[in-house]
Structure 1
């Protein structure tokens, strides 16, 4: 699998990452098979969060990897913090405690990348800066980023922190194209032309932040997968047509559509089915044509001006 440089860091990671939220539902043996197969398929990037399975996902990962031949230095671990039950918390105390908890559950000495998990309206950037500095100097966290944050929120953080924010993890899929719609409908008097995220895609490209796409098969706010869903006949017809043309699955085509964007987006896929994951990563071997990319975008229900 082609490697991707993550933001302005020296980290080189697989172009597709594995989201580990659902690991908490698996046995150690099942999880080990998923992880081992992912690595054998070229995936070396594993995305966690302290809230996934109330911490059980990280615990399962740590126990499962002991059943494999994988060494810590051969993989990249990313985790997230800041979401608590009913509210968000970017306080210095909570960030540091969350990282300590993740380190304990993951049974590792360091986290490669820590993301702030969604925005906190009560964020005090001075506290975030203090937490980041403590975590970096102690060697507990090597790189930092955010998720679901707009350019001004990132700029506010950048005024205080010493580290580069190398990632912004955002919801993006063929059926969730908010980041693209306004770009394609500039100066148009329609709903697609409404800028809902302060042009976050362009901002990340300008500042060399890697965009990670979470829920790349989902529509709405985690309502379900659109691939093979009868509610979306047009996009599935086109996905299947291209799947047959490129000899890959429809799910792989949906990932290939994301990979085709010049922003070099890193999809985070959450499949816990080893065989399906092997099929999905074949997306990295396919480059859709410009015409095919736009045909899929239109088949997903979007109109071009």
Structure 2
């Protein structure tokens, strides 16, 4: 990438910089795979980022774009802001790059500070402050999508909605969504908004399967212990809230490191399917999510460019899993028959 100064435009912006009327920024709704930037920026300590951290961010961005991934997911807390900062440095020195990417970031978590423990904070003033800080670190004029990172029990839905509406009217944020929230929590916030929430990001993978188990454990004793908020998938599908799956590669439990008998068996099946279909094990693991009719967009969070490239077919091809193959993966990972 060039070392020259770049620009701070927005990918897919509507004429005159106005948000699209449906509230869904271009790129987010159509993305097959999202890159999660949590691994960027170096350590989570107070030390500044290094030139090597900027080089890593540049290599990661290149690998993602080469693989067909153009939505980049941040959070203000990732590496204590340094993930956004190194990404912003790459943007600033690479002409035209901002127009090729969709920037998504999150706010709402406050890390531990001295003797004060970590907590959640969705007060209006805090949301605005965090957005302004993210804009500065990312060196851009607008965030394409802002997600509320975690539910804050003290948040007032009307106050939060007012803050989001103000940011949208000022052109600082184009679209909004949530992360780790249930259908009821989304509906409570949506009731105070004149534009739709467009994303809900949840932990979902072949290893973290409570989201799919929720749909089949109805009227069984096991349902009470499942934990996933019932009806959330159905709500998101009915209201066009795009589901994004963080932790989608399951920390390599089916593509590199296995810990249980079920994981070993599933990894063998993943490898066999990858070989038969001429792709990579990483792609098969992501295809399992994408094959679900909820249109799940996996978030890939590895900091290794070669592993990003191993996800290329998930970003560029329709999921090549039959009905039976999808169930084979699920039941092998589940390690028990369905009810």
Fold similarity call, TM over 0.5: yes
After superposition, give the CA deviation of every residue in 1:164-186 in whole Å (9 maximum; x if it has no partner).
10000000000111111021222
Is the partner of 1:62 in helix, strand or coil?
Answer: helix
Larger radius of gyration: 2
1:39 match: secondary structure: helix
Question: Judging changes above 3 Å, is the alpha-carbon distance between structure 1 residues 10 and 110 closer, same or farther for their aligned structure 2 residues?
Answer: closer
Q: Which residue of 2 aligns with 1:289?
A: 322
Does structure 2 conserve the Cα–Cα contact (< 8 Å) formed by 1:178 and 1:196?
A: yes
Q: 1:52 aligns with which of 72, 78, 96?
A: 78
Aligned residue among 14, 24, 33 for 1:9: 24
How much does 1:226 deviate?
1.1
Residue 22 (structure 1) aligned with residue 39 (structure 2): yes
Equivalent positions of 1:1-305 (< 5 A) are 9=24, 11-12=26-27, 13-25=30-42, 27-68=53-94, 70-85=96-111, 86-191=118-223, 194=226, 196-218=228-250, 224-227=251-254, 228-231=256-259, 232-284=263-315, 285=317, 286-302=319-335, 303-305=337-339
May I ask how many residue pairs the two structures share in their alignment? 294
Preserved CA contact (<8 Å) 2:176 2:199: yes
Per-residue deviation, 1:149: 0.5
Q: Distance in 2 between matches of 1:193 and 1:275?
A: 38
* CA displacement at 1:190 relative to structure 2: 2.7
Kindly indicate whether the alpha-carbon contact (under 8 Å) linking 1:14 and 1:42 is maintained by their aligned counterparts in 2.
Answer: no
Give the distance between the partners of 1:167 and 1:126, measured in 2 at CA: 19
Partners of 1:40 and 1:297 in 2: how far apart? 30
Task: Please give the secondary structure, in 1, of the residue aligned with 2:61.
Answer: helix
**Shift in Å, 1:163:** 2.3
TM superposition shift of 1:67: 4.8
Q: Quick one: distance in 2 between partners of 1:282 and 1:11?
A: 21
The answer to whether the 8 Å contact 1:112/1:143 transfers is yes
- Residue-by-residue CA offset, 1:43-76 (whole Å, 9 max, x unaligned): 1100000000000000010112345454212210
C-alpha RMSD over aligned residues:
1.8
User: What's the counterpart of residue 12 of structure 2?
Assistant: none
Distance 2:227 2:63 in 1: 40
Q: Deviations over 1:104-140 (max 9, x none)?
A: 0000000000000011111111211121111011100
> Which ranges in structure 2 are unaligned for 5 or more consecutive residues?
1-21, 43-51, 112-117
Rounded to whole Å, the distance in 1 between the matches of 2:163 and 2:25 is 22
SS at match of 1:212: strand
Question: Would the alpha carbon gap of residues 195 and 28 (structure 1) be closer, same or farther in structure 2, given more than 3 Å must change?
Answer: closer
1:283 Cα offset (Å) = 2.4
Partner of 2:45: none
Cα separation, 2, equivalents of 1:273 and 1:106: 21
Q: Is the Cα–Cα contact under 8 Å of residues 169 and 212 in structure 1 kept in the other structure?
A: yes
- Report the more deviating stretch, 99-108 or 71-80: 71-80
Unmatched tracts of structure 1, length 5 or more: 1-6, 219-223
Question: Could you tell me whether the CA contact under 8 Å between 1:146 and 1:167 is conserved in 2?
Answer: yes
Q: TM-score, normalised by structure 2?
A: 0.82
C-alpha distance in 2, partners of 1:97/1:36?
Answer: 30
* Cα displacement string for residues 129-162 of structure 1 (whole angstroms, at most 9, x for unaligned residues): 1211110111000000000110111111112122
Q: TM-score, normalised by structure 1?
A: 0.91
